[in-house]
Amino acid sequence: MTHNPPPPKLSLLPESAPFTPEQRAWLDGFFVAALGLGESGITALSPQDSAALLAGAGGAAAAEDDDGAPWHDQTMPLAERLKLAEGKPLRRRLMAAMGQQDCGQCGYNCQDYADAIFVKKEAKLNLCIPGGKETLRTLKSLYTELDAAPAPGPATNAAPANAAPPAAAPSAPLGRSRDTPAEAVFLSRTRLNKPGSAKETWHIEFDLTSCGLDYVVGDSFGIYPSHDPALVSAVIEALGVSADFPIRGRALRDLLTDSVALEVAPDSLFQLYSYITGGERRLKAKALASGEDPDGDAATLDVLSAMEKFAPARPDPEAFVEALEPLQPRLFSISSSLKSNPGRVALTVDTVRYKIGQRARLGVASTFLGERAAPGAKVKAYVQQAQHFALPQDPAASIIMIGPGTGIAPFRAFLHERMATKAPGRNWLFFGHQRRDCDFFYEDELTGMRAAGVLTRLSLAWSRDTEQKFYVQDRMREVGRDLWSWLADGAYVYVCGDAKHMAKDVERALVDIVAQFGARSTDEAVAFVADLKKKDRYQQDVY
């Protein structure tokens, strides 16, 4: 199967629209860029939808997009983002409500998702995983404005919040988007930490030969996980019905296992409790449903603990399931290359486990991969093509990769690819984690690549081996002169891993290095790094 076919030339404007050929070409270009339509995995808007976007935006879509989306920063709190978007047209406020990671988990970029909601092409408001409940609440509230306004486009009825992903159109290739998953075969898990580590990180492999999926390095792999059976049993027990209770033609246990989210208790569940409880509990349920935190425990309430909080009230099982959100797929950066490992895909997964009160909480997808998926099991999965995260076209270009923790994943893939294709470009990896003795992922492989000259430089940073934390950006500063010299020679920079802190801190360090060794003022250094980003020479895959 070939990958990345050239995108078809899209014409988005109705034939009858009164534009000159030049205006038409400019507008088509604008929409293709603004809506990311040239890129795979995102549904192209129909001519009617794009005309609706124009009309709904008062014909000023281009001017709006000149606002630079100053809220597009994943570290900025939602309230601040919304403030920056105050007074802006609705589609821009919708965008400001998103998690701003452009992580692709919803199947779009933040702006594309907002625009798709605006033209009523996308009915689901609950797809933004980084934004969580806050984003969902804001989108719902903004949606009422959209409902009040004349429909900007062909209205679709909002799907029930926990509707299953739409069935694949007969011709849609399976495994190319979250709505059309294929079945990959789970092969193996291998622990990457040695004894004594505080982390639990796994190298996971899937076989793709039976589903025929392919990918390129830089892409991510989306998987539909299933819940821990013990959690499902506890929820069924709290409901007080049989595990076989039939709902939507399936047994309750099966539905709870793979179709609905049991992590964060949604507002609609509290709403449901407000109908079936009385007195103070009813008021509390109502308050929780509207985003208040009457007992200071809102952040700890998953579905089971919400049920325990409002026991002995027991919702009707069907109403209960209706009140839950659908179980969303999770993305993982691919850490292998088909060129060196045909028919396989590898992931590098940190297992999320924490305790609240007496109960251990499990990250659903990471523990599914880290402990529950059985070798040989078929798992619903898809490839999320990377947007702006790829090796340089020129195999001779140098690359600098900065990936602490699981951030190493796509860089292992890059290195395998560069080795398999005998790319002559230099490769420099910054890796770091807590402790050298037990958290040096892929140590043998990396030292082997270093010895073979594939890995030109390997710079390491162990945060907990010394009294003072020492991070990848500290190592970068130490070797700043050499880093600058690679940059000045045209190297590409890649960052992968934690979005909230690491990615910002690494960017700050790079700015300082450019200022110090490139003899620039801070403003000039900031502009230099911004220019690297614009030229796709600074690419990020952060989550």
Which of ligand FAD, ligand NAP, none has residue 330 at its interface (CB below 5 to 8 Å by kind)?
ligand FAD
501, interface contact from ligand FAD, ligand NAP, none, CB < 5-8 Å by kind: ligand NAP
Smallest gap from Cβ 156 to ligand FAD, in A, equals 26
The minimum distance between CB 513 and ligand FAD, in angstroms, equals 26
Residue with tokens 């429909």: 151
404 interface partner picked from ligand NAP, ligand FAD, none, CB below 5 to 8 A per type: ligand NAP
Q: In the window 102-121, what residues touch ligand FAD (CB under 6 A)?
A: 103-105
Using CB under 6 A as the binding rule, whether residue 543 contacts ligand FAD is answered as: yes
> In angstroms, what is the minimal distance from the CB of 31 to ligand FAD?
25
Q: Which of 56, 266, 392, 497 binds ligand NAP (CB under 6 A)?
A: 497
248 lines the binding site for ligand NAP (CB under 6 A): no
Stretch touching ligand NAP by CB under 6 A, among 5-13, 258-266, 414-422, 430-438: 430-438
CA 483-485-489 angle, to 5 degrees, is 115
Non-local (6+) Cβ contacts of 8 within 8 A are: none
By CB under 6 A, name the one of 65, 80, 214, 263 that touches ligand FAD.
263
Find out whether the peptide bond into 392 is cis, omega within 30 degrees of 0.
no
Q: Return the residue of 81, 380, 433, 475 that touches ligand NAP, per CB under 6 A.
A: 433
Residue 404: which residues within 8 A CB-CB, separation 6 or more? 430, 431, 432, 433, 461, 471, 472, 497, 498, 502
Q: Give Cα 224 distance to the centre of its chain.
A: 14
Q: How far apart are CA 416 and CA 34, in angstroms?
A: 34
Specify the residue, 104 or 165, whose C-beta has the smaller distance to ligand FAD: 104
Residue span 271-310 as binding mask against ligand FAD, x where in contact by CB under 6 A, dash where not: ----------------------------------------
Q: Which 321-380 residues touch ligand FAD, going by CB under 6 A?
A: 330-333, 348-350, 352, 354, 363-366
CA dihedral 274, 275, 281, 284 (to 10 degrees): 10
CA–CA distance, 193 with 440 (Å, rounded to integer): 7
CB neighbours of 482 closer than 8 A, spacing ≥ 6?
457
Cα–Cα distance measured from residue 248 to residue 233, given in angstroms and rounded to the nearest whole number: 19
Interface with ligand NAP (CB under 6 A), residue from 101, 109, 434, 459 = 434
Site string for ligand FAD, 52-91 (x = CB under 6 A): ----------------------------------------
Residue 186 DSSP SS3:
strand
d(CA 450, CA 419): 11
Per CB under 6 A, does 406 bind ligand FAD? yes
Size of the site for ligand NAP (CB under 6 A): 23
For residue 10, what are the CA distances in angstroms to 29, 57, 279?
9, 21, 58
Pick what 464 binds: ligand FAD, ligand NAP, none; C-beta below 5 to 8 Å, kind-dependent.
ligand NAP
Q: Is residue 257 at the binding interface for ligand FAD, with CB under 6 A as the rule?
A: no
Q: CA–CA separation, 82 vs 78, rounded Å? A: 6
Residue in 216, 222, 220 with CA at minimum distance from that of residue 182: 222
Q: How many other C-beta atoms lie within 10 A of the C-beta of residue 372?
A: 16
Number of residues that bind ligand FAD (CB under 6 A): 22
Q: Is 543 in the site for ligand NAP (CB under 6 A)?
A: yes
Who contacts 21 (Cβ-Cβ below 8 Å, separation ≥6)? Answer: none
Region of 11-19, 79-87, 402-410, 511-519 interacting with ligand NAP (CB under 6 A): 402-410
Measured between alpha carbons, how far is 200 from 332 in angstroms, rounded to an integer?
Answer: 16
Residues that bind ligand NAP (CB under 6 A): 199, 201, 350, 404-407, 432-434, 463-464, 469, 471-473, 497-498, 500-502, 505, 543
Residues that bind ligand FAD (CB under 6 A): 103-105, 220, 263, 330-333, 348-350, 352, 354, 363-366, 406, 409, 541, 543
